[in-house]
Amino acid sequence: MSKPLPNASDFLPGPVLLLGAPGVGKGTQAKHLVDEFGIPQISTGDLLRENRKNHTPLGMMAEELMSKGLFVPDDLVNQMVAGRLKEPDTQHGYILDGFPRTLIQAEWLDSQLVAYLLPVVAVNIVVPIEVLKQRITGRRISPAGRIYNIYTNPPKVEGVCDVDGSKLEQRSDDTEEVFHERMKAFEQKTSAVIEYYRTHGNRFAEVNGDQEIDLVTKDIRATLLKLRHHPEA
């Protein structure tokens, strides 16, 4: 377990970007940071899935692209993020998970952040591709959002959530075929975003995501304190 903060009020995480390929654990790690720092997770993938569930025009538009592992157009995603960033819970910071994924999104985010009290810090989570493939194609999710993996963390009874007995599902874009498309999109577009943050300013760090979940959280936490020049780092 990570150390509790000495005094939560003297550490303001500000805007945090979790970067990395599909399956590196951005969503899982974002949830841990939400618990620790009390700032919200903003996952563009989750927001888009919510739109799909509610059959909004954006959701219907995104459905086909997402099922093929392709990106939703930048202006639509940017607008969606702009709406979310206007909500008051983002005042002391937030964790962006899955955004920005293209240089256009990164530049747009920069333009939005000019007036913000702190610059973004970017943490790139790195995991070997063969591990990612197993994580993604083996992932099964309960309706309440509990995540299993048929290879590394299977439920006691196949296809059934251990906690509430609900039926586990596979995300339609977690198949092997779509995994390869998602990796292609990542390499073609998002790897440039990682280079953008690596070379712009000194608020970028890399963390090994191929270790126990709690150890990854500990590394990210230490990285955030260091990037924010916190005395506890």
Is residue 157 classed exposed, middle or buried when 0-12, 13-18 and 19+ CB atoms within 10 A define those classes? exposed
Taking each helix axis from N to C terminus, what angle separates 176-185 and 129-137, rounded to the nearest 10 degrees? 130
Interaction of residue 71 with ligand AMP, rule CB under 6 A: yes
**93, two tokens:** 């910071």
CB 173 within 8 A of CB 70: no
Q: Does 182 bind ligand AMP (CB under 6 A)?
A: yes
Pick from 13, 121, 173, 179 the residue near ligand AMP by CB under 6 A.
Answer: 173
Residue 179 touches ligand AMP, criterion: CB under 6 A: no
CB of 101 to ligand AMP, least distance (A): 4
Q: Which residues form the catalytic set?
A: 26, 101, 139, 171, 182
- Verify binding: residue 13, ligand AMP, rule CB under 6 A: no
How far is 214 from 225, CA to CA, in rounded Å? 17
Which H or E element spans position 205? strand 204-208
Judged by CB, which is closer to ligand AMP: 11, or 216?
Answer: 216
What binding mask, one character per residue, do residues 186-215 give for ligand AMP by CB under 6 A, x or -?
------------------------------
Closest CA to 135 of 96, 167, 190, 182: 182
Q: Does 65 bind ligand AMP (CB under 6 A)?
A: yes
63: nearest Cα among 80, 74, 78, 49: 49
What string marks each residue from 83 to 122 as x (binds ligand AMP by CB under 6 A) or -? ---------------xx-x---x-----------------
Q: Shortest distance, CB of residue 11 to ligand AMP, whole angstroms?
A: 27
Residue nearest to ligand AMP (CB): 45
**Is residue 28 within a helix (H) or strand (E), and if so which, with residue range?**
helix 26-37
Q: If binding is defined by CB under 6 A, does position 69 make contact with ligand AMP?
A: yes
Tell me which of 29, 44, 51, 137 binds ligand AMP, using CB under 6 A: 44
Residue 30: in which H helix or E strand, if any? helix 26-37
**How many CB atoms lie under 10 A from the CB of residue 46?**
15
Name the residues that contact ligand AMP, by CB under 6 A.
22, 44-45, 48, 65-66, 69-72, 77, 98-99, 101, 105, 173, 182
